[in-house]
């Protein structure tokens, strides 16, 4: 029951079959099916909407049929019919107000790439308590220029420990502590009325063991046969574990958990990549894929605009590998993306894939031959390099690493950020470290010590997360303000240190807002909220110190945001101004790459952008606390660029050099 064969997965179309043959097979299948789908679409949607659905199906054919054939072999034609009818049923149920949004986005398919798009990320309970209270705080978001709101996990989790909401027991219900699905629909409507998009998390790799699918599988219900994977003994689990990196080695070692009820009651080792209560779905079974499609389209019809696709690198398993970033996982995303957009063409996907930069580009469709998967992905590498540069006052590693990254397809966009809800893992490649004279392991260890406040002279007040004393590996928890030195400065009553801490925080966001793509502001950073120790009083949260950087929103502090004499007012004004200037810069929209350049100082990160419909843009950020001189011609375009923003007013040019104040930044744009 649910056992996986000791091979590499399902029957697949051999790679040696030419693409033309695969495409011909798709065309033949569609030719036979199209008249039926056309008649059903027109009957259900009317002539105009029915024809639009059919046009989308024509365009998406190869993004649907080829992944089906790759994943499920000879069953592809039958699955094509079922998948299209699932998408059609969702299109029929789609509310009219969401169809209007779809039409606008089909006219403007790059809507999410525009420089006016900027995001805000928060937990509902920490931001406002419950969903029904969220609309009353939208003025706060609007003042910041927010057009994209990411609400952290809010679907109904399992009771008790639930990995911060990522152990979902029901995709079609909201965590009752936050409200109801009707509340979420009202939030979506309120956001849309203000021109804001709604993003939520969708956990694809696994469900909670309490999910109806998992319980049906355990009970032997044929409808859920093969939804999960269990082995009767340790033979294959040990073989898989030999090459799979552990996610939580200290508290959840290995990738399998013993479940006495599995294998027909005889007991079995269930695949659990993360925690024992999170059971991995088996996408080698096409019924799982179709079931997940149903959940995605159902949620899209509640008003969700962006799905943060959680844990996507883990979705396909192959013996002898890390069971991450497998090619079939990319085919799955391509398939789900294409089918979702048949039903809801205004919806986009964001990949939660914290993997190496080379592996990450694939989730944005960047393969040898472009395949649409996700429109958005987190620029984790940029975030890590910003913190590394801040600790060292040196940008050589950032220059090296960012220059080596593969370009992403122009139809995709980065989400740039300073801090998220998660810990910081130091994704510094040994190759890049060696290229600038560093030892990768030693540098990662230094960053842990520095941001945990262990390194002499450190300004940071963070904490180590998941420290492995055997290997020396660890990650870091802590709010952006605390990691920037603001917490320590307030504790010491040191005004100069506080000024430096604020400058560090604004410096980091000046890069996130101007590197291109969608900048994401994590809740509370606009007010410099510090670490919160309150989580220690909750037994369910106390073992996980990541909750220190998930503080409740301080609305008293927010009330001080318009007073520039306060810490909150100072940071608020700086962050708000970043957004205002950004929105006027066409070069900062997505769809083009940033190029990192050397302007003559190893302490100043300099990057250049140029959209086909704009002039050039140059940003510079000085990560040293001391003034640094850079080549004026490089940053000002031989004097032809205007300074459009900066931390210290217009910077003078003397003897061919621009002097950037310590922890300062400047933006230049070609008129």
- Of the candidates 183, 155, 184, 182, the one whose C-alpha atom is nearest the C-alpha of residue 168 is 155
Angle at 106 between CA 522 and CA 183, to 5 degrees: 45
Phi and psi, residue 668, nearest 5°: -120, 145
Count of C-beta atoms within a 10 Å radius of residue 118: 23
Provide the H-helix boundaries in 224-379.
235-241, 286-300, 327-343, 357-363
For residues 655 and 107, give the distance between their C-alpha atoms in angstroms, rounded to a whole number.
Answer: 50
User: Would residue 352 show up in a list of annotated catalytic residues for this protein?
Assistant: yes
**What are 569's two structure tokens?**
């007012």
What phi and psi, each to the nearest 5 degrees, are found at residue 369? -125, 125
Residues near 352 by Cβ (< 8 Å), separated by ≥ 6?
Answer: 201, 308, 309, 310, 311, 312, 378
Q: What is the DSSP letter of 372?
A: -
Neighbour count for residue 251 (Cβ, 10 Å): 11
Contact 634, 581 (CB under 8 A): no
The CA distances from residue 5 to 8, 421, 523, 634, in Å, are 8, 37, 45, 59
Is-contact 171 293, C-beta < 8 A? no
Rg, C-alpha atoms of the chain = 25
- Whether 310 is a known active-site residue: answer yes
Could you tell me which residues are beta bridge partners of residue 669?
617, 642
What angle do the packed helices 380-392 and 440-451 form, to 10 degrees?
80
Which two structure tokens, joined as six digits, stand for 609? 């952008």
Closest to 70 in 3D by CA, of 316, 310, 273 = 316
Q: What is the DSSP letter of 281?
A: B
Q: Which position among 185, 280, 310, 423 bears the catalytic label? A: 310
Q: Spell out the alpha helix ranges (H) of 364-516.
A: 380-392, 396-404, 430-435, 440-451, 480-483, 486-492, 495-514
Name the catalytic one among 352, 432, 487, 526: 352
Measure CA 231 to chain center: 32
Alpha helices in 614-664 (DSSP H): 632-636
Distance of CA 649 to CAs 107, 330, 420, 516, 645, Å? Answer: 40, 47, 30, 23, 7
Tell me how far the alpha carbon of residue 44 is from its chain's centroid.
Answer: 36
Q: Give the separation between CA 336 and CA 297, rounded to whole angstroms.
A: 10
Q: Which residues are catalytic?
A: 310, 352
């Amino acid at each position: 029951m649910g056992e996986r064969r000791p091979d590499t997965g399902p029957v697949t179309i051999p790679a040696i079959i030419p693409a033309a043959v695969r495409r011909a097979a798709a065309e033949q299948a569609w030719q036979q099916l199209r008249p039926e789908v056309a008649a059903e679409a027109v009957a259900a949607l009317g002539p105009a909407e029915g024809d639009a659905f059919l046009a989308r199906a024509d365009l998406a054919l190869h993004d649907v049929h080829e992944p089906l054939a790759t994943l499920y072999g000879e069953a592809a034609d039958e699955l094509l019919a079922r998948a299209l009818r699932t998408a059609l049923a969702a299109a029929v149920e789609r509310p009219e107000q969401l169809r209007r949004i779809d039409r606008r986005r089909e006219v403007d398919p790059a809507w999410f790439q525009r420089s006016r798009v900027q995001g805000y990320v928060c937990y509902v309970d920490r931001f406002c308590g419950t969903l029904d209270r969220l609309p009353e705080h939208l003025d706060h978001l609007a003042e910041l220029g927010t057009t994209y709101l990411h609400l952290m996990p809010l679907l109904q989790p399992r009771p008790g420990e639930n990995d911060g909401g990522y152990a979902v027991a029901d995709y079609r219900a909201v965590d009752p502590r936050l409200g109801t699905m009707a509340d979420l629909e009202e939030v979506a409507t309120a956001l849309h009325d203000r021109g804001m998009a709604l993003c939520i998390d969708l956990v694809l790799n696994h469900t909670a063991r309490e999910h109806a699918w998992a319980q049906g599988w355990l009970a032997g219900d044929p409808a859920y046969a093969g939804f999960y994977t269990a082995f009767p003994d340790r033979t294959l689990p040990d073989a898989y574990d030999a090459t799979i990196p552990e996610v939580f080695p200290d508290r959840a070692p290995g990738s399998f958990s013993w479940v006495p009820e599995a294998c027909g009651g005889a007991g079995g080792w269930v695949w659990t990549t993360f925690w024992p209560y999170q059971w991995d779905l088996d996408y080698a079974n096409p019924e799982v894929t179709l079931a997940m499609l149903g959940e995605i389209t159902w949620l899209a019809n509640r008003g969700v605009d962006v799905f943060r696709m959680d844990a996507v690198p883990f979705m396909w398993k192959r013996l002898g590998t890390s069971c991450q970033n497998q090619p079939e996982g990319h085919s799955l995303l391509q398939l789900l993306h294409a089918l979702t957009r048949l039903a809801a063409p205004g919806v986009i996907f964001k990949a939660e894939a914290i993997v190496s930069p080379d592996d990450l580009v694939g989730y944005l469709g960047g393969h040898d031959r472009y395949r649409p998967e996700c429109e958005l992905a987190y620029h984790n590498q940029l975030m890590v390099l910003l913190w590394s540069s801040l600790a060292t006052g040196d940008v050589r590693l950032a220059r090296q690493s960012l220059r080596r990254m593969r370009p992403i397809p122009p139809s995709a966009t980065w989400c740039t950020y300073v801090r998220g809800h998660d810990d910081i893992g130091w994704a510094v490649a040994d190759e890049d470290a060696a290229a600038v004279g560093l030892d990768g392991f030693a540098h990662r260890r230094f960053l842990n010590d520095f941001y945990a406040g262990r390194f002499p002279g450190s300004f940071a007040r963070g904490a180590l997360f998941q420290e492995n004393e055997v290997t020396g590996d660890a990650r870091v928890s802590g709010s952006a303000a605390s990691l920037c030195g603001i917490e320590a400065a307030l504790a010491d009553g040191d005004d100069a240190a506080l000024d430096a801490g604020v400058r560090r925080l604004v410096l980091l966001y000046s890069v996130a807002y101007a590197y291109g793509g969608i900048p994401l502001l994590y809740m509370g950073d606009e007010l410099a909220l510090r670490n919160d120790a309150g989580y220690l009083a909750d037994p369910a949260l106390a073992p996980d110190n990541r909750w220190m950087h998930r503080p409740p929103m301080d609305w008293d502090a927010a009330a001080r945001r318009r007073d520039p004499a306060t810490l909150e007012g100072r940071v608020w004004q700086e962050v708000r101004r970043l957004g205002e200037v950004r929105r006027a810069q066409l070069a900062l929209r997505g769809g083009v790459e940033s190029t990192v350049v050397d302007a003559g100082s190893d302490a100043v990160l300099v990057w250049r952008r140029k959209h086909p419909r704009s002039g050039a843009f140059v940003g510079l950020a000085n990560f040293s606390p001391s003034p640094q001189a850079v080549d004026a011609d490089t940053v000002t375009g031989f004097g032809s660029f205007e300074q459009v923003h900066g931390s210290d007013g217009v910077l003078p040019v003397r003897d061919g050099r621009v002097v950037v104040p310590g922890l300062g930044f400047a933006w230049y744009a070609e008129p």
